[in-house]
């Protein structure tokens, strides 16, 4: 029997869909190893452990938080998320999130859309990643947008583009990183490349600009990334896996912590003190769920990434 079905049968009041979500969230281990594949069969004699996440408030409340609204109509809203803003309430972040801001901005129209804790959310950005997001304001829009994101643009117009300032330069000017990802067995807060048992993850990249003194190897680069899948921390882990972590990424680029010391000022100080991963969702395209118009939005590099980029250009 597959793991999600086994858990649902073994635990009263646990639905199969809830079991599947708990497994995907890293809450289930077998023999001490975290399992994130709901289809994984349970074998006789195996010890299955489920650690339930802490309870969260029944319903998030609206909070007046400034939003950079790029586009809005009766069905959806596109916002340019600043770094530091958590998308939806979770353990440790019950207030001050994008969802709290959206509830205040959109009012009762978001109630019940996409689940109590994540009304209207069809995709997300990491807390310290800036850039474009679309949120559904009706059930019809939520279903259409969710289907588009689940398809990853393989058969439709969905497109997501990111700009990343990364250490070094990939050997190839453009290419594809195809490496399965899963939660780290050593640190559940981190994602890692998995040889077995991970979820398919594909990132297409293109080197936009190289930074470095003339006659010397480039020290950094501006890389455009396009997602064919949308896994947690995908771009950050994929770029780190090929030896070019995002500048400022203290989770996946800790081995490059001394790199800024090799730069002249002002790039040295800016890179050393950069407060987040230098990653920005600059492009978002999708089909409008009601009019079926193909919509596309672009966001320029935010001030902090732009300032670091200019300092690197001056090397």
**Helix count and strand count (H, E) for the chain:** 7, 14
Residue among 4, 75, 80, 126 flagged as catalytic: 126
| DSSP designation for 66 | -
In angstroms, the CA 170 to CA 271 distance is 19
Q: Please report, in angstroms and rounded to a whole number, the separation of the first and last CA atoms in the chain.
A: 59
Instruction: Specify the 3-state DSSP secondary structure of 11.
Output: coil
Give residues with Cβ within 8 angstroms of 205, minimum separation 6.
Answer: 170, 174, 175, 176, 177, 223, 224, 225, 226, 239
How far from chain centre, in Å, is Cα 129? 8
Q: Give the whole-angstrom CA distance, residue 8 versus residue 20.
A: 9
Given a contact cutoff of 8 angstroms between Cβ atoms, the answer to whether 166 and 246 are in contact is yes
Where does the chain have alpha helices with state H? 3-10, 16-24, 98-106, 139-151, 234-241, 267-272, 303-313
Euclidean distance between CA atoms 213 and 194, whole angstroms: 36
Tokens representing 279? 């990653």
Instruction: Answer whether 277's CB lies under 8 Å from 271's CB.
Output: no
- Residue 270 is classified by DSSP as H
Q: State CA 214 to chain mean position distance.
A: 35
Residue 144's φ and ψ, nearest 5 degrees, are: -65, -50
Neighbours of 51 (CB within 10 A): 10
13 flagged as catalytic:
no
The pairing of beta strand 76-81 with beta strand 69-72: antiparallel
Q: Which residues are catalytic?
A: 126
């Amino acid at each position: 029997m597959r793991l999600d079905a086994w858990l649902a049968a073994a635990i009263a009041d646990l639905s199969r869909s809830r079991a599947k979500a708990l497994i995907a969230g890293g809450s289930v281990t077998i023999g001490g190893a975290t399992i994130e594949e709901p289809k994984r069969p349970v074998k006789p004699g195996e010890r299955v452990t489920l650690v339930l996440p802490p309870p969260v408030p029944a319903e998030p409340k609206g909070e007046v938080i400034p939003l950079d609204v790029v586009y809005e109509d009766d069905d959806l809203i596109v916002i340019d998320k600043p770094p530091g803003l958590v998308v939806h309430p979770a353990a440790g972040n019950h207030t001050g999130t994008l969802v709290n801001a959206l509830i205040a901005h959109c009012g009762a129209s978001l109630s019940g859309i996409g689940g109590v804790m994540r009304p209207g959310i069809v995709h997300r950005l990491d807390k310290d990643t800036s850039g474009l997001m679309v949120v559904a304001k009706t059930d019809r829009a939520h279903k259409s947008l969710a289907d588009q994101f689940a398809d990853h643009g393989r058969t439709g117009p969905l497109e997501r583009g990111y700009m990343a300032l990364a250490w070094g330069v990939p050997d190839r000017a453009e290419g594809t990183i195809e490496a399965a990802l899963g939660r780290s067995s050593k640190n559940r807060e981190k994602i890692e490349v998995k040889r077995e048992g991970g979820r398919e993850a594909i990132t297409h990249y293109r080197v936009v600009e190289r930074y470095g003194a003339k006659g010397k190897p480039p020290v950094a680069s501006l890389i455009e990334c396009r997602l064919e899948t949308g896994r947690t921390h995908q771009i950050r882990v994929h770029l780190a896996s090929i030896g070019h972590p995002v500048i400022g990424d203290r989770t996946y680029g800790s081995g490059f912590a001394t790199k800024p010391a090799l730069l002249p000022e002002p790039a040295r100080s800016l890179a050393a003190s950069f407060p987040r991963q230098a990653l920005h969702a600059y492009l978002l395209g999708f089909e409008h769920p009601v009019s079926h118009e193909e919509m596309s939005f672009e966001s320029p590099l935010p001030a902090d990434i732009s300032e670091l980029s200019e300092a690197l250009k001056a090397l």
